[in-house]
Amino acid sequence: MHYHLLSALFTLAAAILGCLATPRWDDLRVKHAWNAVPENWESLGIPSAGTTINLHLALKPHREKALVTALYEVSSPGHSKYGLHLSKEQVAELVMPHPHSLELVKSWLNFHGVLPSSISVSHGGNWLTLTGVSVSKANDLLGASYQLYRHAETNETIVRTIGYSLPAALHKHVQTVAPTTYFASPRMSWQTPRNRPGGAAAEQVNATSGDFVTALLGRADHDATPPFLRWLYNSVTYVPAATDRNVLGIAGYAEEYPNPVDLTTFMDRFHSPGTGATYTVVQVDQGGYDPNNPGTEANLNVQYASGMAYPTPIVYYSVGDGTDGEDDQYLAWVDYMLNLDEIPQTISTSYANYETDFPLDYARSLCDLFMQLGARGVSVLFASGDDGVGEGDCVTDGNVRFRPTFPASCPWVTTVGGTMRYKPEIASDLSGGGFSDYFKRPDYQDEAVTTFFETIGNMYQGLYNDSSRGFPDIAAQAYRIGIIFRNEYEVLDGTSCAAPIVAGIISLLNDYRISQGRRPLGFLNPWLYGIARAGLNDITSGSNPGCNTDGFPAVVGWDPVTGLGSPDFEHLQHIANLLP
């Protein structure tokens, strides 16, 4: 939606509200500011002359709860609208801002000499993008002081400001502006899989053979590869039948690229029917693709998505890293996806930052965009993080506080924690989990979280928000996961591993439903916390230490370590078959 539609929207707004007095655009009020330059960043001063950025403005929807209501309707088994996912146009209508908001923004931008031709509109007018804004113009608009900042560990540079303002008249209409005060390092945001030295090369085996099961049960420890995982999660015999319609997507950031030769070697070794497996690369927002410079994260995601769901088509979205004043990586990716007419039914993302790295309004705006994906029938999965309840001493402003991760804490995504071992499967001690400081507890998990609090009593009271969104929702193996990297066998740990494993299982369920002429599962959580709980393996031992504590315990029922448990494909398939 570009210039002509924008003009029409503004004309309508002006006709309705033209008699209103023009607000004072010099009456600036702080929208968000940090007390100091965020940790690990240093200023290099004012950017060079001619530096431009693209400014994204999220406007508040006219009907605040309309999309939430619609999402629950199409995602809750038993509702008459279950599975009737919305089109791009229907979602846009639900998130449309009030005409007054558009009129005010038009007047403000016009006051600062911003040409309508430099403005584009997306998602029903819910987001405006100002293209090629000079840093000096951005400073004038936002009462900001954009500078070039360098990250001490990665040496990357970004153009950001530690604070920005908006005219008082816009605060009730504009939810956030980006890029402004979001400082998380793109290259530090991935849930870096931890290389485990000395991992023995896993044997090529047939997961249906008695020898395979006997060998596993005779070992105290083992590497997890597709034969073991397909056996453990009960998906050995299923063969995808809707590969012409069902797609599994993977979001990749931070200049991480998969390698097709490594994928061939991996599949030949661990799932020989898929030796010819391939993937499609889509480059988003100046994202690159260099298969000769592969990354362990990208290889891991593609190999386990393929190993679990072959021959389901895999699409790898390579996103620009957000440096040098480019768009923030999460926003660039989700904006691209929502502008597609057809979106993969399942998407896995193994990246996250601490929630406190995100300005509150920006995190909520991103979360709302993930909600749009769910309303359109997409199952969106995020890794929960690899630092338990938080890394280090977790002291903020003199107080110890557990450190939730985002987007894992967004209530409109399905978050994947980590497990290890089997017979019984237990919680992995790295599994990120806890409770959001930004998002209230969603209705679908009220009963499960309340039961958890009844179990643990006053444990860690005051270190987390007990009325908020708890995560993760589900879990899978995150320990001793074998991959092929540069033609060598490596073993990794991390919820980065668990996310594509669960995404593969969900993709198989979507494949099954589509092959039966039904709708994909879409947003999973109301289903998972409801009738699908019977198809999950409850994990009842282990914990996720961090912040100089033992972390939360895994208990009977839901817990903020492994969620509701790990998947059992055949049981979930049966339950999914009961849905319309």
One-letter identity of residue 562: T
Residue 176, classed as helix, strand or coil, is: strand
State pLDDT tens for residues 449-484.
Answer: 999 999 999 999 999 999 999 999 999 999 999 999
Count of H-run helices and E-run strands, the chain: 15, 28
The backbone torsions φ and ψ at residue 150, rounded to the nearest 5 degrees and listed phi first, read: -120, 140
pLDDT at 44 over 60: yes
Rounded to whole angstroms, the Cα distance separating 211 from 217 reads 10
For residue 226, the model assigns a pLDDT of: 95
In the block, tokens 């660039």 appear at: 332
Give the model's pLDDT for residue 209. Answer: 44
Residue 283's H or E segment, with its range, is: strand 280-284
Check if the beta carbon of residue 227 is closer than 8 Å to that of residue 486: no
Integer CA distances (angstroms), 345 to 76, 189, 521, in order: 17, 24, 8
**What confidence score (pLDDT) does residue 396 get?**
77
Q: In degrees, to the nearest 5, what angle opens at C-alpha 59 toward C-alphas 55 and 64? A: 155
The span from the CA of 104 to the CA of 23, in Å, is 8
| Lowest mean pLDDT, pick from 65-69, 88-92, 153-157 | 153-157
- How large is the average pLDDT for residues 532-555? 98
What span, in angstroms and rounded, lies between the C-alpha atoms of 554 and 82? 32
Q: Does 99 score more than 90 pLDDT? A: no
pLDDT confidence of residue 122: 81
Identify the band that residue 133 occupies on the pLDDT scale cut at 50, 70 and 90: very high
Strands (E) across 472-518 are located at: 474-477, 481-485, 488-493
CA dist list (Å): 426 to 10, 470, 479: 57, 19, 11
Q: Which two tokens stand for residue 522?
A: 């879409």
What distance lies between CA 162 and its chain's CA centroid? 25
C-beta of residue 381 within 8 angstroms of C-beta of residue 348: yes
Residue 102 has pLDDT above 90, yes or no: no
pTM for this one?
0.92
Q: Give the model's pLDDT for residue 403.
A: 95
Q: Average pLDDT in the 86-91 region? A: 96
205 pLDDT higher than 60: no
- DSSP classification of residue 463: S
> Would you say residue 160 has pLDDT above 80?
yes
Is 327 or 217 the better-scoring residue by pLDDT?
A: 327
| pLDDT over 80 (residue 18) | no
Three-class SS state of 194: strand
The separation between CA 492 and the C-alpha centre of its own chain, rounded to angstroms, equals 21
Q: Are 236 and 208 in contact (CB under 8 A)?
A: yes
Q: Tell me how many degrees the CA angle 141-142-143 measures, rounded to the nearest 5.
A: 105
- The per-residue pLDDT for 254 is 82
Please confirm whether the linkage preceding 424 is cis (ω < 30° from 0): yes
CA dist., res. 517 & res. 12, Å (int): 42
Environment class of 76 (CB within 10 Å of its CB; exposed 0-12, middle 13-18, buried 19+): middle
pLDDT digits (tens, 9 = 90+) for 220-264: 457 899 999 999 999 999 999 999 999 999 999 888 999 999 999
- Residue numbers in the known binding site for Ca(2+) are 538-539, 557, 559
> With contact defined as beta carbons under 8 Å apart, do 13 and 99 qualify?
yes
Is residue 320 predicted with pLDDT exceeding 50? yes
pLDDT of residue 218 exceeding 60, the answer is no
Q: Interhelix angle for 260-270 vs 296-309, to 10°?
A: 40
Task: Give the pLDDT band of residue 17 (cuts 50, 70, 90).
Answer: very low
Q: Does 328 score more than 90 pLDDT?
A: no
Per-residue confidence (pLDDT) for residue 11, from 0 to 100 = 52
Mean pLDDT of the chain: 90
pLDDT digits over 267-310, tens only? 999 999 999 999 999 999 888 999 999 999 999 999 999 999 99
Residue range 473-518, pLDDT digits in tens: 999 999 999 999 999 999 999 999 999 999 999 999 999 999 999 9
Q: Is the pLDDT of residue 2 over 70?
A: no
In which band, very low, low, confident or very high, does the pLDDT at 215 lie, cut at 50, 70 and 90? low
